[in-house]
Amino acid sequence: MGKRRSISLREVFLIVGLLLGCPCRLSALSVTVNDVECVYEFVLYEGDTISGNFVVVDHDIFWSSDHPGIDFIVTSPAGNTVHSLKGTSGDKFEFKAPRAGMYKFCFHNPNRTPETVSFYIHVGHIPNEHDIAKDGRWNALSGAPIHSDPHRSSRPKSLLGAPILKSELGCPGVQHLSPINVKIAQLGEALESVTAEQRYLKAREVRHQHM
């Protein structure tokens, strides 16, 4: 029986370097909520992890003690509510996508006074044999499939007029499924988690500076 090969420290640094040097596109934006505002995100795979956070930036300036807060509701492609938060000034969220398709993230402001919300979202995917069976190829760092259809349309627009968010840690390259490539994707997700936490803390810090 052959010996199991371990990853050397040099290889670890190489992987981290690839992750840090990769041109990343992060899904972060600021939304002004007067009544109801929604953002849309397309999820490629059932079981992907959808995570993120939001902070009402002006909370500490204008909200009185009896302010009802804002509501946050996530709707699946089937129209079901898969995650919700009521009467909050901001929070973190994470859940598994019950199916692939377009998800809707809506903020409801019952007070009708314009509120600025800092919003961040990420869709995490770890490649597996199912991805290879479907397409045969995928981007090892982002976990996204590499499509060859020349007739695929450009990125659609959300109802807010901005591009629909697609979270990617994207470096080009066709890879075969192997433990090292899966580990790279897992490290990418870990790095994304740290980035999301930093953005959340930064948004809260900015909110307190407005006091």
The whole-number pLDDT of residue 125 equals 80
What pLDDT digit, counting tens, does each position of 72-126 carry? 999 999 999 999 999 888 899 999 999 999 999 999 998 878 888 989 888 888 7
Q: What is the pLDDT of residues 4-48, one digit of tens each?
A: 555 556 555 555 554 444 434 356 788 889 899 999 999 999 999
pLDDT at residue number 146: 42
Greater confidence, 178 or 173? Answer: 178
- The sign of the CA dihedral 123, 124, 127, 129 is negative
Domains of the chain: 24-209 (2.60.120.680)
pLDDT of residue 209: 54
pLDDT the model gives residue 46: 92
Strands 138-139 and 174-175, bridge-based pairing: antiparallel
